[in-house]
């Protein structure tokens, strides 16, 4: 029984509901990182409908294709009452299932599809045939293929010629926006200050399952301690499941990339140097795996005068849990496992909060646009912006820059402080703007995004076009 509230996902839910109006069967692909709420979304959609769900076994060295078929057979028996059978061919299992779903409105879920099928090279071909020959004969059937290994799904299903033209809906589930994070925290009873909610989000990001672990009886610091620094804390071992379960043999390289980006955004050449890895296509493949899974992003800078993308880009670790784990849990893991780590508050842990705050803002940029009154169609480019040092130009790094088609630049400084921010921030932003290589007739509007407001002196100077508090993101 699911007791936590279901919040958000209105857009994804509406797309799924539209399928119920169709007169033909639908094949759907849903992907997204571990714990992001894919299965919960489908369960909510399938409420009050005939629903069958099948999940692959987590991969181990001993997991075989036959073990996956046997597990599918057990789940088929449990849900339909069909005799549990041992077969050597997926086609036979799909045929048995198709007999149970050939009429009425049916939602059919194959969860962790990559686990289910990766051991058998013929699995997807036989699934495609079963869809063409049997499943789609029921015009009210919706078959959902779902998984956390987004790169496998992309390569083997979405980009496969075998499934070309057969998938009317493909969904990638991202982190919850901040307003929904706020609703979920309040739904589990955590009704504390904006600062305490931010401290939770600095560890969890917008990952629903992590937020559902929050105990409303405890403060943010106590929750983080119990989840991350006690022997049986839920988030102590989560990291290894992400890289072992999702990436298998590729996990070690992907983990090294994440360790590099935990220090800050980096260009491709820096990542290759950090890994002592050749600048080859295989490194690009590993980066692509992490991009598709939603753990990292690739932020392109651009040419202000032309408003077009540059070839220069930086990779950024956009997952708050991964950075927090690498910075604070991993170095203390032995002590945590021996139940010897007991610090109530980590020394200097606020040093990481600036990067975590940036992630939350950048992952919710559409709400920032609303707060600034910028329409989507007005934006020429927006991203963290950087400018390499040359003989003519100084090096430059802007937390977030928005360029509009009216030649206005919104220069956004994203700054965390537990106290009100003082006037030193004005000098810092002025220095950044002075390093920008600005075209003629361009205007700069400085914007400050913070957590605990600004001092009266900052308000009196009235330098910033707008000062936006973190709490406003939670309300938008």
Are the CB atoms for 161 and 454 separated by under 8 Å? no
pLDDT at 337: 87
Mean pLDDT for 3-23 is 93
pLDDT at 37: 94
State the pLDDT confidence band at 5, using cuts at 50, 70 and 90: confident
Q: Which residues pair with 444 in a beta bridge?
A: 409
Alpha-carbon dihedral 356, 358, 363, 365, rounded to 10 degrees = 160
Domain with CATH 1.10.10.10 in the chain: 177-363
For 364-475, CATH number out of 3.60.60.10, 3.40.1350.10, 3.30.43.10, 1.20.1440.230 equals: 3.40.1350.10
pLDDT at 307: 87
Name the DSSP letter for residue 347: T
Listing DSSP states for 264-324 in one string gives S-B-HHHHHHHHT--SSHHHHHHHHHHHHHTSEEEEEEEETTTTEEEEEEEEEE--HHHHH
pLDDT at 246 over 80: no
CA distance 271 to 232: 33
Q: For residue 203, what are the contacts with CB-CB under 8 A and spacing of at least 6?
A: 210, 224, 227, 228, 235, 320, 321, 324, 356
Please report, rounded to a whole number, the percentage of residues in the chain having pLDDT higher than 90.
75
State the pLDDT confidence band at 474, using cuts at 50, 70 and 90: confident
**Of 17-31, 122-136, 270-284, 322-336, which range is least confident?**
270-284
State the pLDDT confidence band at 277, using cuts at 50, 70 and 90: confident
pLDDT at 345: 54
Name the DSSP letter for residue 463: -
What is the second-level CATH architecture of the domain 10-172? 3-Layer(aba) Sandwich (3.40)
pLDDT at 437 over 90: no
- For the chain, helix (H) and strand (E) counts, in that order, are 22, 12
pLDDT at 208: 96
pLDDT at 209: 96
pLDDT at 150: 83
Topology (CATH level 3) of domain 177-363: Arc Repressor Mutant, subunit A (1.10.10)
Residue 199, CA distances (Å) to 62, 80, 403 in order: 41, 46, 31
Complete edge-to-edge strand list for the sheet that includes strand 26-31: 50-55, 106-111, 141-147, 26-31, 169-172
Domain with CATH 3.40.1350.10 in the chain: 364-475
pLDDT at 341: 67
Please report, rounded to a whole number, the percentage of residues in the chain having pLDDT higher than 70.
97
Average per-residue pLDDT in the chain? 92
Residue that wins the pLDDT comparison between 30 and 347: 30
What global pTM score does this model have? 0.91
pLDDT at 452 over 90: no
Listing DSSP states for 146-190 in one string gives EES-HHHHIIIIIT-GGGTT--SEEEE--PPPHHHHHHHHHHTT-
Are the CB atoms for 384 and 399 separated by under 8 Å? yes
pLDDT at 373: 95
pLDDT at 323 over 60: yes
pLDDT at 471: 87
CA distance 323 to 262: 5
State the pLDDT confidence band at 347, using cuts at 50, 70 and 90: low
Mean pLDDT for 106-111 is 97
pLDDT at 1 over 50: no
Are the CB atoms for 261 and 316 separated by under 8 Å? yes
pLDDT at 280 over 80: no
Q: How far apart are the first and last CA of the chain?
A: 31
State the pLDDT confidence band at 392, using cuts at 50, 70 and 90: confident
Residue that wins the pLDDT comparison between 146 and 252: 146
Tens of pLDDT, residue by residue over 74-94, are 999 999 999 999 999 999 999
What six digits make up the tokens of 159? Answer: 């980009």
Tens of pLDDT, residue by residue over 90-102, are 999 999 999 999 9
pLDDT at 2 over 60: no
């Amino acid at each position: 029984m699911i007791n936590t509230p279901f919040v958000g996902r209105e857009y994804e839910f509406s797309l799924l509901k539209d399928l119920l109006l169709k007169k033909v069967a639908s094949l759907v692909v849903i992907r997204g990182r571990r714990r992001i709420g894919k299965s919960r979304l489908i369960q909510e959609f399938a409420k009050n409908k005939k629903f069958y769900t099948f999940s692959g076994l987590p991969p181990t060295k001993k997991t075989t294709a036959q073990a996956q078929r046997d597990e599918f057979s057990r789940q088929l028996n449990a849900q339909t009452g069909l005799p549990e059978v041992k077969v050597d061919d997926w086609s036979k299992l799909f045929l048995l299932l198709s007999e149970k779903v050939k009429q009425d409105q049916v939602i059919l879920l194959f969860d962790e599809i990559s686990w289910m099928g990766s051991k058998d090279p013929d699995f997807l071909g036989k699934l495609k045939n079963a869809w063409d020959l049997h499943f789609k004969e029921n015009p009210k059937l919706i078959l959902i293929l779902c998984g956390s290994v987004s790169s496998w799904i992309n390569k083997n299903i979405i980009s496969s010629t075998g499934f070309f033209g057969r998938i009317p809906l493909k969904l990638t589930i991202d982190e919850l926006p901040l307003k929904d994070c706020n609703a979920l925290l309040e739904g589990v009873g955590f009704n504390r200050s904006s600062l305490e909610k931010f401290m939770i989000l600095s560890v969890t990001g917008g990952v629903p399952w992590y937020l559902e672990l929050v105990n409303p009886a405890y403060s943010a610091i106590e929750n983080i301690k119990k989840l991350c620094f006690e022997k049986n804390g839920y988030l102590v071992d989560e990291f290894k499941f992400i890289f072992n379960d999702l990436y298998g043999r590729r996990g070690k390289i992907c983990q090294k990339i994440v360790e590099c980006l935990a220090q800050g955004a980096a260009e491709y050449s820096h990542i290759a140097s950090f890994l002592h890895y050749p600048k080859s296509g295989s490194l690009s493949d590993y980066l692509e795996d992490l991009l598709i899974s939603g753990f990292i992003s690739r932020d392109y800078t651009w040419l202000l005068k032309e408003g077009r993308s540059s070839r220069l880009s930086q990779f950024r670790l956009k997952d708050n849990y991964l950075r927090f784990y690498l910075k604070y849990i991993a170095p203390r893991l032995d002590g945590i496992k021996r139940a010897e780590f007991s610090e109530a508050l980590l020394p200097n842990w606020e040093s990481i909060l600036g990067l975590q705050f940036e992630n939350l803002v950048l992952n919710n940029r559409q709400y920032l646009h609303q707060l600034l009154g910028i329409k989507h169609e007005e934006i020429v480019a927006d991203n963290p912006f950087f400018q390499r040092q040359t003989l003519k130009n100084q090096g430059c790094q802007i937390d977030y820059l928005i360029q509009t088609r009216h030649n206005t630049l919104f220069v956004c400084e994203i700054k965390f402080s537990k106290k009100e921010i003082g006037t030193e921030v004005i000098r810092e932003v002025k220095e950044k703007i002075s390093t920008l290589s600005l075209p003629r007739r361009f205007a700069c509007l400085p914007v400050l995004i913070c957590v605990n407001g600004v001092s009266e002196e900052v308000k009196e100077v009235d330098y910033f076009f707008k000062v936006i508090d973190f709490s406003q993101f939670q309300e938008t």
